[in-house]
Amino acid sequence: MSLQLESLPQWEFYLYLVLSFGFHFYSFHEVFLASQEYEEELDRTFDLETDTMFWGLKKDPMDFEWTFWMEWGRGYILWLLFCHLIVSQISNLYMKKYKPWVLMAYGMAACWFLLGTNGLIMILLHTSVSYFMAQFKNPVLTWLSSLLLLLTLRIPALEDIKRGWYASENEYYLLIFTLTVRCLYYTSFSLEYCWAKEKMHHSFLWMLLYVFYYPVFHNGPIITFDEFHKQ
């Protein structure tokens, strides 16, 4: 017996949407009020800095992840996303048949631009290992290979080698973030490969297209391969 999933009624969808935005706005508002109330104490403890981007509000300079992504976002990632949009529209107009492969090539070029040749090779290596293990059509082997690939990111000797590829720690951390998120993607593809009866859309090229799709390349959001292929 097959299970058919039906979409939510429109009224219910909008209700959940309003509730979600409402809860988030309330949470952000409460955090803002608390930060205003304890601003002097927080300033003494964390040496808050004035942020020129957000109307002179103060920020915690010790928040590494926020600083990291804002630096990369303003410097490169937003521009690369904008270029992806242009490439996507041009290929949609003039070479629609080859659009997926144009986007794959763009994603690989953007990866090479930000992470260098070594970074691109690392992602290709991880993807290739996962694809090879998927040929056994055993989901357990796929999960084990993905976990082992993740574990290699924490081997000190390999960490030192990868750090030596870059001039700054931030470049190294961008590679680690990207490899971690890509692991979710090649795992999803490999599992779909194990379960699929027909391999029409499960070639290595489709895996590369999925793994190197740039809008979700560095930090998600996560899209499973079956949903990606439908869209």
DSSP structural state of residue 223: -
Range of weakest confidence among 36-45, 58-67, 189-198: 58-67
Query: Which tokens hold the place of 83?
Result: 């270029």
Band of residue 60 on the pLDDT scale cut at 50, 70, 90 = low
Mean pLDDT of the chain, nearest integer: 85
**pLDDT mean over 34-63:** 70
Global pTM reads: 0.74
C-alpha angle with apex 52: 110 to 78, nearest 5 degrees?
A: 15
Query: In a 3-state reduction of DSSP, which class is residue 34?
Result: helix
